[in-house]
Amino acid sequence: MTARPLPLAAPAARGVDASGVHAFLDALEAAPDIEPHSLMILRHGHLVASGWWAPYTASRPQLLYSLSKSFTATAAALAEAEGLIDFDAPVLSYFPEFEADITDPRSRAILVRHVASMASGHEGETVDEAYATDPAEPVRGFLLLPPQRDPGTVFAYNQPNTYTLAAIVQRVTGQSLTAYLRPRLLDPLGVGEALWLRDGTGREIGFSGLHAATDAVARLGLLYLDDGVWQGRRLLPEGWVARASRPHIPTAGAMGERDRQDWDRGYGHQFWMSRHGYRGDGAYGQFCLVLPEHDAVIAATAATERMQDYLDLVWRHLLPAFRPGPLPGREAADGALRERLQRLALPPAEGGPVPPGRAGDWSAAVFTPYGGVCADQPTLTEVRVTGGDGDDWTLSLTDARHRLDARFGAKEWAVTEQPLPAAVSGGWADAGTLAVDVVFLETPHRLHVTCSLTDRTFTARWGTRPLHGRSLLALRAPRGAV
């Protein structure tokens, strides 16, 4: 289906000062540890500013990581409204075949509302242990891990909570999350492609793995901002947004000393409370910020491990840009902002053309991992450089028996679609060193590859380390088997 575009408005017409948006963009692009990929700002129901840093584009689905959780909770709300789920029922009641195996009283006392609010009673992350305990049925593996505390008394950000909620939805509906959400949420919102990672059980995992465009995140945020009503039609059950967006369990101190400020405000139903409003968020800077006090939504994707720093920049620069009424006489400022947003781009990786007279040395050169194994990507076993005709060079990565070929140039990003969407740039630091960056365009991830002609070895390191899959070919939306 073709999505109807979000209604547009000039920033000033909706009380947004373009200078504040410029200040935010300046701060983002100056932050050494933040790589912005997309930004959408909505105010009073209208899209007032949006941009994508090339080679990222508006139409591509992005790996949302834990922002997926907010979509899972929305599916659970819809299933509750249809009488398929009871948030006050024991989790075990949806898996009666585990009845004889689950004997711990705390495990048996976990309710649906506990897993929806990260309050199963476990004191830490159990995802690896749950999968190891029962790879064929991770819900059973999770329930076989006795909580250290009574359910509902302690917060722990624990993936099997959301996985279990997602498994319940898929069990009671007989559908995948995306199939269930498509007619009830995604199509009414006008969300295009949405693809969710599955595990070995065949389930969509719920706690992560959803790939959708930034536009889908903006539309979900706007739906929540408007109390579950979309264009005059109620999509979410009345009262759900209030339930999802209030703290059910305190989180103060739960995330450690780092990243305290916006992770200390409490947790709702798969939404975090913030210093301002509430949010869904995902690893490395995938955000859906819902700001009822400003009647605004901010949807963004990025690559950063400093998510608190990103939020600090939003609070410092964007919030003051939200004014109580229209700002007359700002047409020139709005136009300048629009032009800037259309030009956004990540700088290509540094590097020059092949040094004079050295093209023959590099053409068809083969490189193996420095030290025998690539520490950051052990499945990456070989790099080839081919070319030699002017600036027409190709980098070939052999990873888990698959091969990724991509052209590269020193002055721009070269985009390839097969075998997966990627962009490459880079060049020669000197006669014996080639440095190339590979950006995996449906994820937040960038791989820095450096080849040494002297010893015919390469090194590769991640800017942000992927959390799903082992091979490079897994760094794409799950349209088919990898």
**Across residues 78-91, what is the average pLDDT?**
98
Q: Are residues 62 and 188 in the same domain?
A: yes
Q: Are residues 77 and 190 in the same domain?
A: yes
Q: Are residues 400 and 285 in the same domain?
A: no
Residues with Cβ within 8 Å of residue 174, at least 6 apart in sequence: none
Q: Are residues 451 and 426 in the same domain?
A: yes
Domain contains 246: yes
Q: Measured between alpha carbons, how far is 349 from 24 in angstroms, rounded to an integer?
A: 23
Domain contains 148: no
Residue 482 has pLDDT above 60, yes or no: no
Q: What is the pLDDT of residue 9?
A: 98
Q: What is the pLDDT of residue 375?
A: 94
Residue 397 has pLDDT above 50, yes or no: yes
Q: Are residues 310 and 363 in the same domain?
A: no
Report the CATH number at residue 409: 2.40.128
Q: What is the pLDDT of residue 400?
A: 86
**Across residues 210-219, what is the average pLDDT?**
98
Domain coverage including residue 315: 11-81+168-342
Q: Are residues 196 and 223 in the same domain?
A: yes
Q: What is the pLDDT of residue 398?
A: 97
Query: Which residue in 441, 386, 447, 387 sits closest to 416, CA to CA?
Result: 441
Amino acid at 360: G
Residues with Cβ within 8 Å of residue 434, at least 6 apart in sequence: 351, 362, 385, 426, 427, 428, 450, 451, 453
More confident of the two residues 252 and 375: 375
Q: Are residues 65 and 189 in the same domain?
A: yes
Q: What is the pLDDT of residue 126?
A: 98
Residue 426 has pLDDT above 90, yes or no: yes
Q: What is the pLDDT of residue 260?
A: 65
Residue 481 has pLDDT above 50, yes or no: no
Model confidence over 132-141: pLDDT tens digits?
999 999 999 9
Q: How confident is the model at residue 274 (pLDDT cuts 50, 70, 90)?
A: very high
Q: Are residues 322 and 381 in the same domain?
A: no
Q: What is the pLDDT of residue 3?
A: 67
Residue 328: count of CB within 10 angstroms of its CB: 8
**Across residues 380-387, what is the average pLDDT?**
96
Model confidence over 301-342: pLDDT tens digits?
999 999 999 999 999 999 999 999 999 999 999 999 999 999
Q: How many residues does the chain have?
A: 482
Report the CATH number at residue 329: 3.40.710.10
Q: Are residues 387 and 328 in the same domain?
A: no
Number of domains in the chain: 2
Q: Are residues 331 and 413 in the same domain?
A: no
**Across residues 179-190, what is the average pLDDT?**
98
Amino acid at 211: H
Q: What is the pLDDT of residue 391?
A: 76
Which residues is 415 bridged to in the sheet?
Answer: 423
Domain contains 152: no
Residues with Cβ within 8 Å of residue 145, at least 6 apart in sequence: 107, 122, 126, 129, 130, 133
The percent of residues above 70 in pLDDT, for the chain, comes to 96
Residue 255 has pLDDT above 60, yes or no: no
Q: What is the pLDDT of residue 451?
A: 98
Model confidence over 441-473: pLDDT tens digits?
999 999 999 999 999 999 999 999 999 988 999
Q: Are residues 305 and 369 in the same domain?
A: no
> Which of 278, 310, 342 is the last residue in one of the domains?
342
Average pLDDT of every residue of the chain: 95
Q: What is the pLDDT of residue 368?
A: 97
**Across residues 392-414, what is the average pLDDT?**
90
Q: Measured between alpha carbons, how far is 3 from 10 in angstroms, rounded to an integer?
A: 21
Domain contains 452: yes
**Across residues 17-41, what is the average pLDDT?**
97
Domain contains 193: yes
- The Cα diameter of the chain in Å comes to 74
Q: How many CA within 13 A on the CB side of residue 79? A: 27
Please state the pTM of the whole predicted model. Answer: 0.96
Domain contains 328: yes
> Which of 317, 342, 367 is the last residue in one of the domains?
342
Domain contains 444: yes
Residue 475 has pLDDT above 90, yes or no: yes
Domain contains 180: yes
**Across residues 135-155, what is the average pLDDT?**
98
Q: Are residues 191 and 298 in the same domain?
A: yes
> Which of 342, 375, 407 is the last residue in one of the domains?
342
